[in-house]
């Protein structure tokens, strides 16, 4: 238990609370402590009955049974791996920026979920974060199941196609790709490739509650001002780190 507690405490803040909340709420629904019907996103209930908690619970809850248990574990792995990579990589020392990315993707998923009658948002939210990481590390070689290897930029599409073949799905993955691409385009591609204005600036209120910080060689953190877009050695054209070796998937 102490090893588990140490591992949990070692996770960065947003990844830790997102993962634990997802597991906790899914187990609560699994054992009937709360009705799953109260946790999913329903248009009439959300709009007309003002049951606004559904926007949050539909992101964190996933129905667990024998058929969906493996898919849930894979989603938790993707959540852990790619949220961790982003929070400790591109957004290291910038918790407000990462929190704003999660907030933007979450709101986008909720809007699409209400329009498209999508009751569960775990899949598209996780895929949106995975997509952002893959775009920031396009040329990293990742390992997929059965020993296949390809560039990270193709991973979201492989997952969508794999789910389409295995279970006849794929639509939730496409929603996640759409949301992730919307964030990536507005945050990175449009300002840098098209010389447009920055459209997704982190609100000051988030910076107040989650101030930027840096970690020195001794492990102590200190507040640090923003660099104003200065380039950092070892990063790619969109500001992401050149990670080198890809993370193995499906192991």
* Structure confidence at residue 200 (pLDDT): 92
Please state, in angstroms and rounded to a whole number, the distance separating the CA atoms of residues 189 and 198. Answer: 10
Rounded to two decimals, the pTM is 0.83
Among 136, 214, 223, 120, smallest CA distance to 181 is for: 136
pLDDT at residue number 218:
41
Is residue 132 within 8 Å of 142, Cβ to Cβ?
no
Would you tell me how many other CB atoms lie within 10 Å of the CB of residue 45?
15
Instruction: Answer yes or no: is pLDDT of 220 > 50.
Output: no
Fill in the DSSP letter of residue 247.
P
Cα separation, 245 vs 152, whole angstroms: 11
SS3 221: strand
Quote the pLDDT of residue 237.
Answer: 33
Q: Which residue has the higher pLDDT, 196 or 116?
A: 116
Percentage of the chain with pLDDT > 90? 67
Say if CB 109 and CB 131 are below 8 A apart. no
Which of 87-96, 201-210, 230-239 has the least mean pLDDT?
A: 230-239
In this structure, how many other beta carbons lie within 10 angstroms of the beta carbon of residue 166? 10
User: Is pLDDT above 70 for 91?
Assistant: yes
């Amino acid at each position: 238990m102490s090893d588990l507690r140490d591992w949990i405490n070692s996770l960065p803040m947003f990844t830790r609370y997102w993962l634990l909340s997802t597991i906790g709420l899914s187990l609560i629904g699994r054992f009937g402590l709360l009705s799953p019907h109260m946790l999913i996103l329903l248009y009439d209930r959300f709009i007309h009955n003002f049951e606004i908690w559904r926007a949050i619970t539909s992101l964190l809850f996933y129905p667990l049974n024998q058929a969906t248990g493996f898919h849930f574990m894979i989603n938790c792995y993707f959540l852990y791996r790619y949220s961790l990579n982003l929070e400790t990589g591109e957004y290291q020392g910038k918790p407000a920026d990462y929190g704003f990315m999660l907030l933007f993707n979450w709101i986008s998923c909720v809007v699409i979920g209400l329009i498209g009658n999508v009751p569960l948002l775990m899949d598209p939210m996780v895929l949106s974060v995975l997509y952002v990481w893959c775009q920031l590390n396009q040329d990293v070689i990742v390992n997929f199941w059965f020993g296949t290897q390809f560039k990270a930029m193709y991973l979201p599409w492989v997952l969508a196609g794999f789910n389409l073949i295995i279970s006849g799905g794929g639509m939730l993955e496409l929603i996640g790709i759409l949301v992730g691409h919307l964030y990536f385009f507005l945050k990175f591609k449009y300002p840098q490739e098209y010389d447009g204005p920055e459209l997704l600036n982190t609100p000051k209120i988030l910076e107040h509650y989650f101030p930027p910080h840096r970690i020195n060689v001794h492990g102590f953190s200190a507040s640090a001002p923003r660099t104003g877009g200065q380039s950092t050695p070892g990063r790619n054209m969109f500001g992401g780190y050149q990670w080198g070796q890809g993370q193995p998937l499906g192991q």
